[in-house]
Structure 1
Amino acid sequence: MSHSTPDTVSEVLARGRLGIPSVVFFVIAAAAPLTVVAAGATTGYAVTGVPGIPVAYLVVAAVLALFAVGFVAMSRRIVNAGAFYTYVTRGLGRPAGVGAAMVALVAYNAMQIGLYGGFGAVLATFLRDQYGLHVTWWVPALIGWAVVAVLGVLRIDLNGKVLAVMLVAECAVALVFDAVMVSHPAGGTVTFGTLAPSHILAAGIGAALVTAITGFVGFEGTVVFSEETRDPRRTVARATYIAVAATGLLYGLSAWAMSVATGPDRIVDAARADGTDLIFNLVSPHLGSGIVTVGRVLFITSLFAALLSFHHTVARYLFALGRERVLPGVLGRTSRRTGAPKVGSVLQSVVAVAVLIAYAAAGADPIVHLFFWVTVTGGLGVLILMTVTSAAVIGFFARIAHGEGWWPAFVAPLLATLTLTGFLAATLREFDILLGVDARSPLRWLLPAAYAIAALVGIGWALILRATRPQVYDAIGLGADSATVLLRRTDSFRQPV
């Protein structure tokens, strides 16, 4: 049996390049605020028929803040780009951790690749309406893919600057639009009906809560970039809370502002009639066409920013798994010049372009079949990961670590686990509603079943590693320290018996 010595230089990400602002930009960019405001909130109103979408965003933000208590407490003790994978491993065991890793790869790839459908379709429509250029959706999608592929192997701090400019601009436009809508209320009176707590008990609120959750996917990415921050234990905690608070307030405010402009009793019908154009149609009579056009452009860049952020997330998951030899070790290599996980980044780009070509060849609808179905499925996967990770936090502090108080180590993660489990049950029960398909459609079970299959594959692979490559199995979840374990086990194999 031969064992290659790990290349420790190639297994270290570029350290110290990200501060709190850069990490916040990455994770909020993944959440794509203007996309959520213009598309997510209106879709929530239209699909669920529930006027309580604003309060749903606020409730979800509160639940995710509760989840973040244990998540952040664990981040102070574990610094690893593997994020959920590492936390589940350290809290629930190696097989569960590898199962979570496979779920994460499916979920984040789904989020990233699904966004290309929205980006390509929205940009193609914009070019047609503004400039009379008629291009099919996959042309701008492939152009966006090429730019993401290049940026994915460059310095992480350069990417942070790109996302910062886009994010500040789109949030500013969203706030301007909110101010315009609130200052021009339907009937001349500002109403707060869609913020009433009673909506939490209304029929269909489960689907509304699930719709709201998808708007926050990406905030947990603070841990993914922890190895590249200047002070991981301080940066991750602050960036996580800032991301949850900022996105929750912006989503809740914007969804409420739209209901003010239409009237609470007409918001659902307006969302169904106008779709993603609703917010632009509501502000157009009160703003110059130039500002509205800027808003539409930033809607497109919001989608691009999310594409770039999720690309980095997938690349770093692949890096973490390659570094620990759970997946081929070549994935653990980084660029000596930029510090980026180059092989993982290239692999994600290859998978993405293959899916885009397949959808284009099949003539599938980029909005319904790629953007909507695939990203909703990706959001389900992240919800599964958050639920399992909350349970893992309890297991970690109960079995391994000490010194944390009852609130971060047990009470908060237990409450988060129970609440997220309820959200997950509601998601599975109403998944046909979220997809917009018939209740008897096999898709309502086939798409969620992909995560069960991924988890079983991961668990099975971990058990195979335990039996055939114990040195790799022992290094699972150890991150940068895995090289030490692998070297120690390799040396032990070389000793004479």
Structure 2
Amino acid sequence: MSNQIEQSGSAPAAVATADDRPHRKLRGTLGVWGIVFVVVAAASPLGVIGGPVPLGIGIGNGTGFPAIFVVSTVIILLFAVGFTALTPYVPDAGAFYSYIGKGLGRVTGFGFAFVALISYLTLEIAVYGLIGQGAQALFSSYGLPNIHWGIWAFIAFLIVTALGHFNIDLSRNVLGVLLIGEVAIVLALDAAVIFSGGREGLSTGIVTPSEIVSGAPGLALLFAILSFIGFEATAVFRDEARDPLRTIPKATYLAVILIGIFYTVSTWALISAVGDSKAVEQAQADPSGLLPGATEQYLGAVGLHIVQVLFVTSLFACILSFHNIVARYVFTLSTRKVFPAQLGDAHERHGSPHLASGIDAVVVAVALLVGVLFKLDPVTQFYTWLAGISTVGITTLLIATSIAVLAFFARRKRAGQLEVSTWRAFVAPGIGLVGLLISIGLILQNLPTLVGGSTPIAIGVVALLVAFFALGAGIAARRSDVTLE
């Protein structure tokens, strides 16, 4: 394995010496399940079942939507085959841009590093709008004063910032507890629906071809792919993982499979709870009320209260996960001389990217203040506009990574150094790339709808991502000391 890495290029000696200083190294004891907790929490399972799933049912392909989750899981797994095949050749943390750089070159890699940074940062900020409104609604339902969403968002911000200062193991423990809670309540609902037989019997749309291709299956695929955002962050935590060459591939596959099964079964159960004849109608009339309504019917008032609380904690877990991801992007880019070197220093005691985490917190605080001062609606404006950036950006990163995998192994094959199977190097990532290209086409086609029905904002989203790519690529092109390793 070491020979493989040496053949693919190694970091300059000066950089390797700097990175070997103990205080510059991130430290953690993340195993397979620790990384899975962080990644699955970023996907926000309860938030997906309460948000994108009703939309996929209502304006996608109706009762056939669970089958689309099967399709999307296959697409992401095919991507993961190539992603993990390239992992041994990418010896440092850095996630997508390190992989892209390995296959498509240093300049392109840093261009996408900036795309990744703005995509994850905007998604982290966007979810503060959701948690602000969610907490406002939750506490108001218990008779407390109707406090502005921005206050609740800042309370969550302070807690996230504090946790981000410490070792990743603390965040892992918090995320583990919250994740178990939100998954448990959805599984309880699934079990109650399945054992009761559902309102009209268990849904058959998942195995009925005419239902699967009904309505707008392409739009359904869009919502399904978006529900997986966050799984690819397994490689971000490389420096804090035990035995990363074994841990990262296992965590990636495990996270994708668990998320895919969870979404498929839970969506099928939710449709069964409402009934095939009523699911589309109710999802269109009140998408946000589909999950709470089903929960109250099958788990009673207590179950409804639990879901309302865990929906908020699910959003908190999502924010904490993306905060950790953004901090590590800033940290790694700093060690590679893109940002000031001080931001690449790990905390001497906690082994955390505390300064990078602090910079992230400053940017988030400014964004929240802007949202509050300009009186933006927390969901239809603050969340939707920012989430549009991350949706396009992260899907583009998946596509670029797939292309990089194909390019890298094509060079290895020409040089007679292809050590992995044709399936892992070309077939799986090639098929996955086709699925992702279809997905980005659907996303761009429906982008105005995703950003609140505004074509100018949709154009602005794409322009912003192009500008950030140009900025990163420009820095790398002008400065030879900026390295990928």
Give the TM-score of the pair, scaled to structure 1.
0.89
For the pair 1:11 / 2:11, whether they are aligned, the reply is no
Shift in CA distance, 58/129, structure 1 to aligned 2, threshold 3 Å: same
Give the C-alpha shift of residue 121 in structure 1: 0.4
Distance 1:74 1:430 in 2: 32
For the pair 1:126 / 2:142, whether they are aligned, the reply is no
Distance 1:53 1:191 in 2: 11
For residue 379 of structure 1, what is the aligned residue in structure 2? Answer: 391
- Unaligned ranges ≥5, structure 2: 1-13
Shift in CA distance, 13/261, structure 1 to aligned 2, threshold 3 Å: same
For the pair 1:389 / 2:401, whether they are aligned, the reply is yes
For the pair 1:175 / 2:182, whether they are aligned, the reply is no
Which of 263, 271, 290 aligns to 2:283? It is 271
For residue 207 of structure 1, what is the aligned residue in structure 2? Answer: 219
Does the CA contact (< 8 Å) of 1:195 and 1:256 recur in 2? no
State the one-letter code of the partner of 1:76: P
For the pair 1:283 / 2:292, whether they are aligned, the reply is no
Which of 104, 109, 112 aligns to 2:124? It is 112
Distance 1:233 1:61 in 2: 23
For residue 9 of structure 2, what is the aligned residue in structure 1? Answer: none
State the one-letter code of the partner of 1:455: F
Which of 468, 474, 484 aligns to 1:477? It is 484
For residue 82 of structure 2, what is the aligned residue in structure 1? Answer: 70
State the one-letter code of the partner of 1:60: S
Shift in CA distance, 274/107, structure 1 to aligned 2, threshold 3 Å: same
For residue 429 of structure 1, what is the aligned residue in structure 2? Answer: 445
Number of aligned pairs? 466
For residue 89 of structure 1, what is the aligned residue in structure 2? Answer: 101
State the one-letter code of the partner of 2:22: V
Does the CA contact (< 8 Å) of 2:405 and 2:429 recur in 1? yes
Give the C-alpha shift of residue 49 in structure 1: 6.5
- Unaligned ranges ≥5, structure 1: 479-497
For residue 481 of structure 1, what is the aligned residue in structure 2? Answer: none
Distance 1:310 1:59 in 2: 26
State the one-letter code of the partner of 1:459: A
Give the C-alpha shift of residue 82 in structure 1: 0.8
For residue 273 of structure 2, what is the aligned residue in structure 1? Answer: 261
Q: CA RMSD in A?
A: 2.0
Does the CA contact (< 8 Å) of 2:389 and 2:465 recur in 1? no
DSSP-derived class of the 2:202 partner: coil
For the pair 1:461 / 2:475, whether they are aligned, the reply is yes
Distance 1:325 1:423 in 2: 34
For the pair 1:236 / 2:248, whether they are aligned, the reply is yes
Give the TM-score of the pair, scaled to structure 2.
0.92
Give the C-alpha shift of residue 328 in structure 1: 2.0
Runs of at least 4 residues off by over 6 Å: none
Does the CA contact (< 8 Å) of 1:206 and 1:427 recur in 2? no
Distance 2:432 2:248 in 1: 19
For residue 363 of structure 2, what is the aligned residue in structure 1? Answer: 351
For residue 411 of structure 2, what is the aligned residue in structure 1? Answer: 399
Shift in CA distance, 196/111, structure 1 to aligned 2, threshold 3 Å: farther
Give the C-alpha shift of residue 288 in structure 1: 3.3
For residue 137 of structure 1, what is the aligned residue in structure 2? Answer: 149
Which of 456, 478, 482 aligns to 1:442? It is 456
Shift in CA distance, 203/49, structure 1 to aligned 2, threshold 3 Å: closer
Distance 1:49 1:437 in 2: 21
Distance 2:260 2:140 in 1: 34
Does the CA contact (< 8 Å) of 1:259 and 1:267 recur in 2? yes
Distance 1:459 1:161 in 2: 37
State the one-letter code of the partner of 2:378: P
Give the C-alpha shift of residue 226 in structure 1: 1.4
Give the C-alpha shift of residue 10 in structure 1: 3.5
